């Protein structure tokens, strides 16, 4: 994976092969950040990265100037890798080892951007549960957005907080906002 823009632009990060991850492709990540760049000043927002995996999204936010970044993943090796890279690049990412659903049920941490990249094979109920937990527990700041990455075969457009989606190859980003 590579960092697309910002102070760490062009850096390639090689994740260990034993991590159970499917990193967001560089093309999809670049497109996502082009959208977000039109919505926010990255140095003024807070970010919550759910199912953080390799930390690619968190690192991209850090590279672009975001200083309040929390990365949540249930896998110890993923969290260990993200913390190691964050320390190495002085990225300031706070890592949390937790089941994402349990975290969302009990968290009081609010953010401007929440990014969730759950396994593509989740059933629709699990995807909707993520969205419901974010909105029911008021984890988005006013004007914030929840972005859920999923396969092009998953349709989340029926959710009441759904705003729009963008497709990039086999990857889809669905955007959710307060009404």
pLDDT tens digit sequence for 64-77: 999 999 999 999 99
Residue 35: band (very low, low, confident or very high) from pLDDT cuts 50, 70, 90: very high
Number of domains in the chain: 1
pTM, two decimal places: 0.96
Instruction: Measure the CA–CA gap between 120 and 67, rounded to whole angstroms.
Output: 29
By DSSP bridging, strand 162-168 and strand 171-176 are antiparallel
| CATH number for the domain harbouring residue 114 | 3.40.50.150
In this predicted structure, the answer to whether residue 179 has a pLDDT above a threshold of 90 is no
In this predicted structure, the answer to whether residue 169 has a pLDDT above a threshold of 90 is no
Inter-residue contact 62 to 3 (CB < 8 Å): no
How long, in residues, is the chain?
179
Residue 24: band (very low, low, confident or very high) from pLDDT cuts 50, 70, 90: confident
Instruction: Assess if residue 20 is contained within a domain.
Output: no
Phi, psi of 67 (to 5 degrees): -110, -15
Q: Which structure tokens are listed for 135? A: 């909105």
Instruction: Assess if residue 63 is contained within a domain.
Output: yes
Residue-number span of the structural domain to which 118 is assigned: 43-176
In this predicted structure, the answer to whether residue 37 has a pLDDT above a threshold of 80 is yes
pLDDT digit string, tens, across residues 99-125: 999 999 999 999 999 999 999 999 999
Residue-level pLDDT at 161: 97
In this predicted structure, the answer to whether residue 14 has a pLDDT above a threshold of 90 is no
In this predicted structure, the answer to whether residue 81 has a pLDDT above a threshold of 90 is yes
In this predicted structure, the answer to whether residue 54 has a pLDDT above a threshold of 80 is yes
Instruction: Assess if residue 24 is contained within a domain.
Output: no
């Amino acid at each position: 994976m590579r960092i697309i823009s910002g102070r760490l632009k062009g850096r390639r990060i090689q994740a260990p092969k034993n991590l159970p991850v499917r990193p967001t492709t560089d093309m999809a990540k670049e497109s996502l950040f082009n959208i977000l760049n039109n919505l926010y000043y990255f140095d003024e927002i807070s970010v919550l990265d759910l199912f953080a995996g390799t930390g690619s999204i968190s690192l991209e936010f850090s590279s672009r100037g975001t200083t309040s970044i929390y990365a949540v993943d249930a896998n110890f090796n993923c969290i260990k890798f993200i913390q190691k890279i964050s320390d190495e690049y002085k990225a300031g990412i706070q890592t949390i080892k937790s089941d994402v659903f349990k975290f969302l049920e009990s968290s009081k941490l609010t953010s401007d951007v929440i990014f969730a990249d759950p396994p593509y094979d989740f059933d629709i109920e699990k995807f909707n549960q993520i969205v419901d937990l974010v909105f029911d527990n008021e984890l988005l700041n006013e004007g914030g957005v929840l972005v859920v990455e999923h396969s092009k075969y998953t349709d989340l457009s029926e959710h009441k907080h759904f705003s729009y989606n963008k497709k990039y190859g086999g990857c889809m980003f669905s955007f959710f906002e307060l009404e």
